[in-house]
Structures are given as structure tokens and as C-alpha cells.
Structure 1
């Protein structure tokens, strides 16, 4: 008995499930996921509402900051340079990803402590580098910005963080390192690091973007690069009998600071880039439009030409005679259906010919 009852309940459910599955797999709308009341589109390139790709280029200064041989020496700054190019993909209005290539050169100085420093004097060094990295881009302005309907959204604060690989070549010279004619001979400190997995680095930074037009953004950006390498500053590895520039300071990571000014070229045909779109502001704007819209209700947009009390929008008889009673469609009433409207019918309840004013032949109309 229980088995029969179970089968009685299960069989209709099974058939319904099969039918529902067939509906789910169709690509047409409405389906089981959409009632058809919303504007639903397939998730493909043609359904995009915003630009979400861009190409960025820029350049500026590069400085060896936290290192043994540094760009900031004796109260002076030894300027270097850098240039970058990146392909940018905006994933949401608050987050994007960048594939970036950067190259540049830093200039730095250092003085060894004690007698070694007196013999060598102030050393000069440079680092030429190139890097490939992946950056995450957080749009803080879209994440925490106060939204209203009156402030133009032209400036945005961005934060960056990512990882990459770098290759570099360094050279360091002082009064003691290039002795070819005396004994013992010494050669300059040189390091060449190939772009490989052991040249892994991290970087973080921040930038301010200005929405110059629907095609171009202008950005000022500062990035801090953590190399994890004690030879990135040109200080060398440090061997026995050779002054150890890479031992001037504690720590095994030479870090670099870059300050850049750049341009982003927004790709695509849409007017707005996703990075400059705030859904909350868009919602508030629409609510504001509705709140301030005119709510005047027009009863008869086309008027009432025959003055019968039925608007011409749905009046089926636009030339009803004045004074005639009409139904809801604006048609003159004919109670006895004899073809003579009640306004002219002398016998309203009895059918009769038109020539007798709607009365039967044996009845004289009054």
C-alpha cells in the first residue's frame, strides 16, 4: 500500500522534472530562469553596456629607496627613470586586472664604513631593469565614495598590488674597485640577473585618475617594488677580500620607488567605461528623475470631438448627434434595435421603420 502511494506521488514529479529540464536548456526567453518581464540578454560580447578594456602607457622617476646603495645620498637625490605599458581589463566597477611591462634605470651612491670607505671613496652605481607583472586594481572611489545625484564623478582613487618577474644588470664603481695596474687587481662590481622564476618580486601602490574624456584617462601613480634581492641595488654579492657594499645595511631586500604620470586609452564603442560607473549612483539618479517627474494625468489626450462624454481615444462613433445617449464605446443607444437611435425614435421600446420615426405602421407617432 505504501509503495503504491509512493509511486503515485513520484511519477508525476518525475514527468514534471523532465519537462522543467527541457525548459531550462533552451536559449530562448522567457524560460524557467526568467519570467520575460525583464530585459534579459545572453552573456556575450554583444550584451556589454560599458567599455571594459584599456591600454595604459606612462613614465617618470625611479629611485632605489630601501637598499645598501641608495638613490638618496648626502641629502641629494640621484634621479633615475622608468616607462611602462599595460593592458587593462575592468572586471567590475570596483576591480580590474592589468598585465604590465616596465623598464628603467636607477642611479645610486654609497660609502663603505671605516677604512674601506676612505680607500674607496663614494661609490656610484646604476641598475638597469625590465619587469613583467600582473596587477590587481581596486577602485576605492567606487568602493567607498559618497553617492548623490549632483556631484560629477571625474576623479578616482585607485590602489594596486601584484607580483612579477624581473631581469636586471648592475654596475658599481669606486676608487678602489677598478685597479688594473696595481696588485691585487680588481674589477668593478657587476651583476646580471636574467628574467627567471628566481627574480620574483612584489609591488604595491596607489594612484589618482582623472576622467578627461570618454576615450582618455590621466593618472598620477606611485609604486613601491619589493625585490627580495640583496643585489638589486648594485652592491654585488660580496666576496672575501672585496669590500661588501651589500652589507652596509641589514636586510636582504633592495626596494625601489617609482613615480609616474600616464595615460589610459579606453577601448570600445560605448560611452562609459566600467571603472567610471557606479550602480548606486545610477539607482539614485533614476529615483531622483521619478521623484521630480510631472504626474499630470491626461484623461482625454485626443479630446472628445462629439462631446458625448466618451474620449476619442476609444470612441467608436466620433459623430454622435448632440443630446444622444451613448454606451461605453460612444455609440448612440437604440433600445429597440430598429435602426433609429433613441434620440429620434418616437417609440423607444417598440421597433418600427425609419420612415415612421421608429414606430410600427399601425401607430401614429406623437
Structure 2
């Protein structure tokens, strides 16, 4: 029995220490799954060997239950992947059968058994994980060891004829006699193969039907070797020798009803809708493929994309932001006086100002006050870049103001109406801002470096090019007096070769 305990401990150690498979191993990032379970399997046994399948099935000597025998098994299961798992199995049972022909004997064998098996999930392998989500069909095989104690009795007299082992008599594993204390059990290698069909009852319990066929490494499980030796019945000691008899190796099968309890935290199972939701708990790797827990990427339809685009579309821009009805250089959205006369000098709020009084007050002041934003336009004749006399007077006052307010700068922005080609209009608006800058410089501006120029051709009209008055309003140079820190940096200023560049 010490050897049995050693084998059990070794089996559990090998299973538990399987590399890389911790109980709560994480799959595909954050998702965790349960992987351990235990099973209890009561079942029926059936022997296949010399003392079986006799033509006479009525053996009262076997007792009220006839030849029917049973077993009880315990398994510790570890699922390595969704398709593959391993188990350590321990069972105890009995085999009984007999045969009238040739042998006129029946036997009874009590056994203990420990095996290691590997399972393959055939349902998912052949049909995928999307079908029959609550069903599991496995094929398995392995190797192990059994310890058996066999007694053979005469069908005629009921007397004991042979037995497999005892501590003082013959042994089926050693030639000759057993010296000293021993075990009544004989030890042999066994190879189990089988199939199982399981159904997931609850997140914790599975119910299944297991069929296992065992190949033993002996023809002496029923203590017969084929009876080819004429002295067989007279000399039962011959059964204990190592020589193999004429019969095939013995086999037996079990058919059991298995109840499996799945270990682990927060156990859940897939719902009737077939959708896996890892936020609800942990699925068991026996029943769920980790790939099924990964949420599929969202691929919106055209209608979804259209709805998303509409929901995120910015609000329409107020048209007053880019219109200047009175052509004073201040957008209507910010213009507090949206109908100032043409050529008026206005503040940053679009309020008309008396430029003479402003300059006079600045000249009388001993200190240079802060620079205030002022806007004005000067207009040009068709296809001309010559500054009109009325506009010259406005520009002289601007020069006078800039010479006093040294913390101010000036932005000249040239425009044209839509007549002529696009490229020609760009060059025309460029000539107009150059003419305005030359006038400022020649008329006495002390610091020409404070002048920044831009030109846009017909690209930025202030009025539709539908009438003579509107065409005149579009032939203009905007004059913007602003604090010097609002001027563009040197690499941003200068002439624009492409009027579509952002300002």
C-alpha cells in the first residue's frame, strides 16, 4: 500500500506542476478563465478474457447480482487549452465472470487503479465553438497501473481453485514463493482509452456519460493462461511463472455516469443567446474558447457612419463672421456699427472714429498710450494700382499716427474683383499693396519694417461681384492698425505667392 500512496502523490505532482498552466492563467490580455475541475464517476464493469463470454450465462454461484460488477472513480482534471486537457484518475472496482466450457470456473477480482490521461475536445475540433455550446465530446487515452486480487472458483464444487497472490504463497509477479510479508495485490500496467459525452448543467456542474476500455499487460487477470499445459489443472503453480500463456492479454471496460464540479472564482456559463461576456465572471476553459471572449471590432455600416458624422458635425459657422457689409475691415459679427460710410476709419469694434481728433490727442500727449486696433479700406479704379487723392489723405494720417504710436504695426491686405484671370488678379492685388507700402514709406513712415503685406486676388470678396458698386468695394486694400505683437513673424509675413495659404 505504500507503493500505491507513492504513485498517487507522484501523479498529482506531475499534473499540478505542468509548466505554464496556473489555475487562473490570463488569456488574451485581461480575460481570465477557470481551468480546474473534479469528477466522480460511478459505473459498471465488464471483463473480456478467458473466463468470460461463456455460452452458459446462468451462474448462480456468482450470487444474486450475476456477473454484473461496478466501479467508483475520482478524477482531478486540468484544462490546458480549450481543446486539450489532462486528468489524474483513481478508481476502485470489481470484475466477475465465468465460463463453463473448458474451464468450469468463475473468478472474482478486486482492483485499485491509478491512471494519467489526456483528452481532446472533438466537438470543438470538428464542429467549432459556435455550435452545441453546452455539449462536449472527448476522446482520451493514457497509461497507469492497477493492483488486483483475483480468486478463481470451481463452478461445480464452489471450491477455491487459484488466486493471484498472497503474502506467504505463490505470486503472479515473482517466480517461486513470496518470502516474508507482502501484499495480496498483484501489480500490472494498464492502458486506458475511451470517450465521454458531457453536458453543462450549471456554471458549476457537468453531467456526462463516460466509456473506458482498458488494455492490461497480463493474460492472468482471471488467473488463466489458455490451458495449453496438460498439467494446468493438476499443477496450479504453473500460473505464477513469467512465461506467457496462449491466451490474449486481458481487457475490461467501464461505463459510468460522471458528475463534474468546476473549480474557480465567479463561475459563469454562456447564455442562451450564445454571447460571451467576460465582465459577468469567469468561464471555464472546458467550455469556452478564449478567442470567443474577445470582442469583435466594431465595423459601422454606411447608415451608422452617416449617423456618427451627423452627430459630430460642428455647428454651422455664423455667416456674419466672414462678411463685412460696410467694407470697414470689421466682420459684421463684431461690428457695432455695421453701416459706417465708405472710407471711414473705425475701431476694432467697427465704431467710426475721427482720425484727426485721435491724432491731435496723441500729439498733445506726452506719453505714448497703448496701441488700439483701427481698420480702414482704400479703394482703386478698375485694373489700377494707383492710390486715389482721397485715400492719400487717409494714409498720411495713418503715417502720422504710426510715427507717434511706435508700438503699433500695420497690415496691408490687397484684393481685386473677379474680372480677368485668377493669376492676373493675384498679381494686381500684389501691385496694389506694394503701391500702398511705397506711399507710406515715401510719405514719411519712420519704420517701414512695421508694415506687413498680404494679397489674395479675387479670393476674398466682401460683396458679390454682381454690380458696379460691389466690384468697386472688392477693388481694395485693407488697412489694419494693430498692436505690434499681433504682426506676423518674419517667416510668415511678406508677399503671398499662393493666396489660398492660411492667414
Q: TM-score range by the shorter chain?
A: 0.5 to 0.7
Distance in 2 of aligned mates of 1:335 and 1:82: 104
* Residue from 296, 301, 305 that aligns with 2:311: 301
Provide TM-score, normalisation by structure 2.
0.47
* Residue from 147, 156, 165 that aligns with 2:145: 165
1:195-214 alignment runs, 5 A limit: 199-214=188-203
Distance in 2 of aligned mates of 1:195 and 1:47: 48
Measured on the aligned residues, the alpha-carbon RMSD in Å equals 4.3
Q: Which has the higher contact order (CA 8 A, sep 6+)?
A: 1
What are the superposed Cα offsets for residues 244-285 of structure 1, whole Å, 9 maximum, x if unpaired? Answer: 8999x94341100100111111111244211222467678x9
Paired residues of 1:93 and 1:139 also in contact (CA < 8 A): yes
Residue 60 of structure 1 corresponds to which residue in structure 2? 43
Change (3 A) 1:131 1:349: farther
* Residue from 154, 170, 188 that aligns with 2:161: 188
Structure 2 residue 347 is matched with structure 1 residue 353: yes
1:222-233 alignment runs, 5 A limit: 222-233=211-222
Distance in 2 of aligned mates of 1:235 and 1:291: 74
Residue 130 of structure 1 corresponds to which residue in structure 2? 112
Paired residues of 2:109 and 2:149 also in contact (CA < 8 A): yes
Paired residues of 2:54 and 2:101 also in contact (CA < 8 A): no
- SS of the residue corresponding to residue 109 of structure 2 reads strand
1:298-337 alignment runs, 5 A limit: 298-301=308-311, 309=316, 324-325=320-321
Change (3 A) 1:160 1:72: farther
Q: 1:132 Cα deviation (Å)?
A: 0.6
Paired residues of 2:54 and 2:99 also in contact (CA < 8 A): no
Segment drifting more, 260-269 vs 273-282: 273-282
Q: 1:223 Cα deviation (Å)?
A: 0.5
Structure 2 residue 154 is matched with structure 1 residue 174: yes
Distance in 1 of aligned mates of 2:81 and 2:163: 45
1:6-25 alignment runs, 5 A limit: none
Residue 106 of structure 1 corresponds to which residue in structure 2? 95
Q: 1:221 Cα deviation (Å)?
A: 0.8
Q: 1:237 Cα deviation (Å)?
A: 10
Distance in 1 of aligned mates of 2:328 and 2:55: 109
Higher helix share: 2
Paired residues of 1:165 and 1:197 also in contact (CA < 8 A): no
Distance in 2 of aligned mates of 1:360 and 1:54: 90
- SS of the residue corresponding to residue 164 of structure 2 reads strand
Residue 253 of structure 1 corresponds to which residue in structure 2? 249
- SS of the residue corresponding to residue 316 of structure 2 reads coil
Paired residues of 1:68 and 1:245 also in contact (CA < 8 A): no
Distance in 2 of aligned mates of 1:158 and 1:172: 37
Structure 2 residue 136 is matched with structure 1 residue 156: yes
Structure 2 residue 283 is matched with structure 1 residue 272: yes
Distance in 2 of aligned mates of 1:197 and 1:278: 43
Which residues of structure 2 form unaligned runs of 5+? 1-21, 59-65, 166-172, 174-182, 266-280, 357-375, 377-503
Structure 2 residue 83 is matched with structure 1 residue 94: yes
- SS of the residue corresponding to residue 163 of structure 2 reads strand
Answer with 1 or 2: which has the greater Rg: 2
Structure 2 residue 47 is matched with structure 1 residue 74: no
